[in-house]
Amino acid sequence: MAAVTLTIHATDGAARTGTLATRRGPVATPAFMPVGTAGSVKGLMPGEVRELGAEIVLANTYHLHVRPGEALVRQLGGLHAFSGWEGPILTDSGGYQVFSLARRRTIDDDGVTFLDHVEGSPRRLTPESSIAIQQALGSDVMMALDDCTGAPGEREAAARAMERTRRWLARNLAARTDPGAALFGIVQGGTFDDLREESLAATAAEGFDGVALGGVSVGEGRAEVRRIVATFGPRLPAGRPRYLMGMGRPEDLVEAVASGFDMFDCVLPTRHGRTAQLFTSRGLVNVRNARYRDEAGPADPECGCPVCRRFSLAYLRHLYTAGEMLGPRAGTVHNLWFYLDLMRRMREAIAAGSFAAFRAAVLARLDEGRDREEP
């Protein structure tokens, strides 16, 4: 029996809405997972994250392994008790950090050796150790260790990374000893459809609880990313959760839902919130811009978040320019609300059979807003 189940309630084209049942409660899909890399969505209390509409969050195996260490987390009751988040947690395997540590790691067919970013200590990560760390953390949805180190447009490198990911599939599955923890496989292959097809066939044939599309938005152009998403989203197994890893902007999420994806994560809403970049229905707003010095209205008149209900753009600008810690907190609250509310509205549109019209309207508004985005 699968550790998670996905029940589809409605479809509209390839878009679908449903419920992901986990051992720590249900998650409405399509779902956006706020990123709490080190066990914390930066600047927010767990209750605040829940009140914004999040039902599942993401934490990172590599970062928690390096600091404070999975043994301590397990000793203190697991990541849920340690962090105060009671809902489901998905943990990334550390594969992306392997990709990002290009100058500090050596990868081979058994795993990867790297120097951690905190102390420079040598570490070893294999499919078996990645799963062991995730289980020690108490993850509800674990990700298989993959190799996304190949340059996406270089066929030989992409083929090596895909083949290594394929060979690691069975090792990840064999390492799982917690039957209540779901395990998702990851499809790789760079920008090459035949490599992606091979990876998808191998991953779908294994007993994974869900399937993710990985290695996108790691250097490809935006048009190529969207082509890969549109091509392979509908081809992932329909009976299992489909997870698009690590992207993206609001328009990316809308297009990915249109391609049949169920789960998403991205650092953009929280990272941009900390740097005064607010996502709005009319595009991205740089709150530090001088034009907002005396702006009495909210960041987004159409937004119902606590920040837009209470604060003017002028006040938000003051907070950021004065270095007040409330500024990044407010920006994070607003951006997460925007993303989570977008997911809610997409679920409603799919259920109502009006997703195509919703998609067109949202994308048109965001395209208009892009003309006024500031760096």
Instruction: Catalogue the active-site residues.
Output: 92, 265
Distances (CA, A) of 46 to 56, 83, 87, 241, 250: 11, 8, 10, 25, 23
Concatenating the DSSP letter of every residue in 155-200 gives HHHHHHHHHHHHHHHHHHHHH---TTSEEEEEE--TT-HHHHHHHH
293 exposed, middle or buried (CB, 10 Å; 0-12, 13-18, 19+)?
Answer: exposed
Cβ–Cβ < 8 Å for 134, 180:
no
Sequence-distant (≥ 6) Cβ neighbours of residue 75 within 8 angstroms: none
Q: Reduced to 3 states, what is the DSSP secondary structure of residue 238?
A: coil
The DSSP 8-state label assigned to residue 109 in this structure reads S
The H or E element that residue 335 is part of is: helix 326-352
Q: What are phi and psi of 19, to 5 degrees?
A: -130, 125
Cβ–Cβ < 8 Å for 254, 346:
yes
Taken as a whole, the chain contains a residue count of 375
- CA–CA separation, 288 vs 275, rounded Å? 9
